[in-house]
Amino acid sequence: MLDVRRLHTLRAVHREGSISAAARSLGYTQPAISHQLARLEDEVATALLTRSGRGVRLTDAGVALVEHADAILARIDAAEQEIASIAGLRAGRVRLAAFPSAGATLLARAVARLRAEHPAIDVTFSEAEPEDSFPLLRAGEIDLALAFAFPAMQTHDARDLTTVSLLHDPSLLVVPAGHPLTREPGPVELDAVAQETWIAGCERCRAHLLHCTSESGFSPEIDFATDDYMTVQSLIGQGLGVSLLPALALHAGRRPDVAVLAVKGSPGRTVQAVLPQADRRPPAVTATLDALSTAVAELCADPDAAALGLRPMH
Of all helices (H) and strands (E), which one includes residue 262?
Answer: none
Amino acid at 45: A
pLDDT over 80 at 88, yes or no: no
| 79 half-sphere exposure, CB direction, 13 A CA radius | 6
**Phi and psi angles of residue 282, each rounded to the nearest 5 degrees, phi first:** -60, 145
- In a 3-state reduction of DSSP, which class is residue 132? helix
Residue 87 has pLDDT above 80, yes or no: no
90 or 237, higher pLDDT: 237
The residue out of 52, 87, 122 marking a domain boundary is 87
Q: What is the DSSP letter of 169?
A: E
Q: What is the dihedral of CA 210, 194, 102, 169, to 10 degrees?
A: -90
**How does the average pLDDT of the chain come out, rounded?**
88
Cα 127 from chain centroid (whole Å): 13
The percentage of the chain sitting over the pLDDT mark of 90, rounded to a whole number, equals 50
The pLDDT confidence band at residue 154, using thresholds 50, 70 and 90, is low
Q: Taking 70 as the threshold, does the pLDDT of residue 74 lie above it?
A: no
Cα distance between residue 118 and residue 296, in whole Å: 19
Domain at 68, CATH number: 1.10.10.10
- Residue 166 and residue 301 in one domain: yes
Domain carrying residue 109:
93-312
Do 103 and 241 share a domain, yes or no? yes
Give residue-wise pLDDT tens across range 192-223.
999 999 999 888 888 999 999 999 999 999 99
Dump the DSSP string for 253-282.
Answer: ---TTEEEE-BTT--EEEEEEEEE--SS--
Q: Is the pLDDT of residue 245 over 80?
A: yes
Which percentage of the chain shows pLDDT scores above 70? 93
Answer whether residue 179 shows pLDDT above 90: yes
| CATH number of the domain enclosing 178 | 3.40.190.290
pLDDT at 82: 67
DSSP character string of 42-76: HHHTS--EEEETTEEEE-HHHHHHHHHHHHHHHHH
Cβ 170 vs Cβ 266: under 8 Å: yes
Closest to 77 measured CA to CA, from 28, 177, 145, 4? 4
Number of domains in the chain: 2
Does 171 lie in the same domain as 37?
no
Same domain, 56 and 203: no
Q: Which of 38-42, 69-73, 151-155, 207-211 has the lowest mean pLDDT?
A: 151-155
Where does residue 276 rank: exposed (0-12), middle (13-18), buried (19+ CB within 10 A)?
middle
Domain end among 32, 60, 87? 87
Please tell me whether residues 61 and 129 are part of one structural domain: no
β-sheet bridge partners, residue 93:
122
Where residue 20 falls among pLDDT bands split at 50, 70, 90?
Answer: confident
pLDDT interval class at 270 (50, 70, 90): very high
Q: Are residues 273 and 241 in the same domain?
A: yes
Q: What is the distance, to the nearest Å, from the Cα of residue 284 to the centroid of all Cα atoms in its chain?
A: 9
Q: Same structural domain for residues 230 and 275?
A: yes
Q: How confident is the model over 22-45, as a mean pLDDT? A: 87
Residue 306 and residue 272 share a domain: yes
| Secondary structure letter of residue 227 according to DSSP | S
Q: For residue 109, is pLDDT > 60? A: yes
Beta bridge partners of 245: 172
> Is there a contact between 163 and 137 (Cβ–Cβ < 8 Å)?
no
**183 shares a domain with 220:** yes
Q: CB within 8 A of 20, min separation 6: which ones? A: 30
Last residue of a domain, one of 71, 87, 103: 87
Write out pLDDT tens, residues 276-311.
887 778 888 889 999 999 999 999 999 999 999 999
Q: At what angle do helices 60-87 and 283-301 cross, to 10 degrees?
A: 10
> Is residue 278 located within the same domain as residue 214?
yes
In angstroms and rounded to an integer, the radius of gyration of the C-alpha atoms of the chain is 31
- Per-residue confidence (pLDDT) for residue 22, from 0 to 100: 86
Question: Cβ-count burial of 14 within 10 angstroms (0-12 exposed, 13-18 middle, 19+ buried)?
Answer: buried
pLDDT of residue 176: 97
Residues 162 and 263 in one domain: yes
Domain check: are 181 and 271 in the same one? yes
